[in-house]
């Protein structure tokens, strides 16, 4: 399953330490005032996937697009080129214009939860986060960091902890797996209110102005 998660979040980052002792459960109120809501946004990402049984981490990088009403596109550019489309109902990998795999989001609870986190935090929808996680963190000088622990037992057994940090947008996310593996993702060059390109609209099956 987490080979799919690796495809979903193909980016890299440095690991974050735990929030300081002053972490507060009401930090989301502060975070909400700092985040900038969007209709669509794009940017670049880097991922470092540390797997316990491997001597070296797996690294990948590329571009991402989050369209509020359509879903997400993750384009891996290195080490190989592929695109993963995530909608409210399915995840599909597209390579060389062909669908490599397709699966229902509901069939993968951990994958579904990570997707919810990304959409909720980029959309400043803290109520959605509160429904699914116990959250602590801190906010200071326009910067924030938070720890999320899934409330859903099935998810918690696979992903016990998610760490995030950012300011007006999410800068990085770290996903800790119960087996000791770690996925760390950095986001950069985030463009708010982005317009969908023709090829992106085609992947979603919508008109090119649909993200407005």
Whether residue 209 lies inside any domain: the answer is no
Q: Does the pLDDT at position 22 exceed 60?
A: no
pLDDT confidence tier of residue 170, bands split at 50, 70 and 90: confident
Quote the domain boundaries for residue 15.
2-204
- According to the model, what pLDDT value does residue 18 have? 44
56-110 pLDDT, tens digit per residue, is 999 999 999 988 888 889 999 999 999 988 887 888 888 887 888 888 877 766 6
Q: Is residue 210 part of a domain?
A: no
Helix, strand, coil percentages for the chain (3-state, nearest 5): 25, 40, 35
| pLDDT number for residue 98 | 81
| Bridge partners, 59 (sequence order) | 48
Higher pLDDT, 4 or 22: 22
The CA distance from 38 to 195, in Å, is: 11
Close Cβ partners of 132 (under 8 Å, ≥ 6 residues apart): 113, 116, 117, 150, 151, 152
CA–CA separation, 81 and 165 (whole Å): 28
Regarding pTM above 0.75, the answer is: yes
- The answer to whether residue 211 is domain-embedded is no
Residue 212 lies in a domain: no
Tokens for 27? 């930090």
In a domain, 8, yes or no: yes
Q: Residue 20: which pLDDT band, with cuts at 50, 70 and 90?
A: very low
Q: What is the mean pLDDT of residues 126-148?
A: 89
CATH of the domain at 57: 2.50.20.10
Answer whether residue 97 is part of any domain. Answer: yes
Report pLDDT for 25: 56
Instruction: Kindly report which listed range (45-59, 79-93, 170-184) carries the lowest average pLDDT score.
Output: 79-93
Average pLDDT on 34-45 reads 85
Q: What is the pLDDT of residue 24?
A: 56
* 83, part of any domain: yes
In a domain? residue 25? yes
pLDDT at position 44, please? 97
Does residue 172 have a pLDDT over 50? yes
Number of domains in the chain: 1
């Amino acid at each position: 399953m987490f080979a799919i998660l690796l495809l979903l979040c193909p980016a890299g980052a440095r690991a974050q330490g735990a929030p300081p002792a002053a972490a507060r459960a009401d930090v989301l109120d502060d975070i909400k005032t700092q985040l900038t809501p969007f209709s669509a946004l794009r940017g670049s990402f880097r991922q470092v996937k540390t797997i316990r049984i491997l001597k070296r981490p797996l690294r990948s990088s590329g571009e991402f697009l989050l369209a509020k009403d359509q879903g997400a596109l993750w384009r891996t550019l290195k080490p190989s080129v592929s695109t993963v489309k995530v909608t409210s109902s399915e995840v599909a990998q597209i390579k060389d214009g062909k669908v490599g795999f397709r699966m229902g989001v509901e069939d993968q609870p951990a994958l579904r939860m990570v997707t919810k986190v990304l959409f909720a935090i980029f959309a400043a929808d803290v109520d959605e986060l509160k429904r699914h996680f116990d959250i602590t963190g801190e906010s200071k000088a326009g910067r924030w960091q938070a720890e999320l622990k899934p409330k859903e037992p099935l998810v918690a057994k696979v992903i016990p902890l998610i760490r995030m940090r950012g300011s007006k947008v999410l800068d990085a996310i770290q996903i800790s797996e119960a087996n000791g593996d770690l996925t760390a993702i950095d986001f950069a060059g985030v463009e708010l209110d982005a317009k969908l390109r023709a090829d992106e609209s085609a992947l979603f099956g919508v008109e090119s102005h649909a993200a407005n």
